[in-house]
Structure 1
């Protein structure tokens, strides 16, 4: 993400990646053997903000490094670790966090437009 948006742009991109993982969990709730995935947001954000000599997308690399398999809260005969109620609650919280990050980005852009136009 650009330096213009600072930490907020990076956070927004990582929150989007987390939402995609959580949506995949919900979509695969009935898939035998599917292992629920999540993203350690704090770890991913720290990794994405650290300068790296690696080429490529630092946000995608940080998200992949912070990805983990969530342990099952209940045993299942088919090996699926998705708990529908837990996934829906975690997804709802992640949506709120995404909206908060979006508000920060919108505020930053609005401030820059005000500075540019002088209004």
Structure 2
């Protein structure tokens, strides 16, 4: 039922939230030797979700390791500036999706109240 009410936006918000966690983990491990930065191919994950894949399956199929521009000597692939940019970009998209969903909930609430 939520898919009929919210379309792909509910799944998009969930994916954006998961991506935020991955990027935050990358930033937290920027100085960990051998750590491999990961990210989600958002389009692939959303496509998997809209085609009926479960949440965990969509995450698994769309999670990718980052390929660093400048590999470090200790094997860590986190490039802090890129991670910070990806985090900010994802935060803006998350906020936009959340705003859309809030508007949708307000519309449904008004309709139920008969306004």
- Give the TM interval when normalised to the shorter protein: over 0.9
- 1:107 CA drift (Å): 1.0
Structure 1 counterpart of 2:112, from 91, 112, 116:
116
Structure 2 counterpart of 1:76, from 53, 65, 72:
72
- 1:21 CA drift (Å): 0.5
- 1:18 CA drift (Å): 0.5
The runs of 4+ residues in structure 1 deviating greater than 4 Å are none
- Segments of 5+ residues of structure 1 without an aligned counterpart are 53-57
Secondary structure of 1:68's counterpart equals strand
Partners of 1:13 and 1:42 in 2: how far apart? 13
Structure 2 counterpart of 1:88, from 84, 89, 92:
84
Partners of 1:2 and 1:13 in 2: how far apart? 13
TM score, norm. by length of structure 2: 0.94
TM score, norm. by length of structure 1: 0.91
Higher relative helix content = 2
Partners of 2:90 and 2:56 in 1: how far apart? 18
Q: What pairs with 1:1-16 in structure 2 (closer than 5 Å)?
A: 2-3=2-3, 4-16=5-17
Partners of 1:40 and 1:29 in 2: how far apart? 21
Q: Aligned residues, how many?
A: 114
RMSD: 1.3
Secondary structure of 1:73's counterpart equals coil
- 1:45 CA drift (Å): 0.3
Partners of 2:55 and 2:93 in 1: how far apart? 17
Secondary structure of 2:32's counterpart equals coil
Q: Which residue of 1 aligns with 2:94?
A: 98
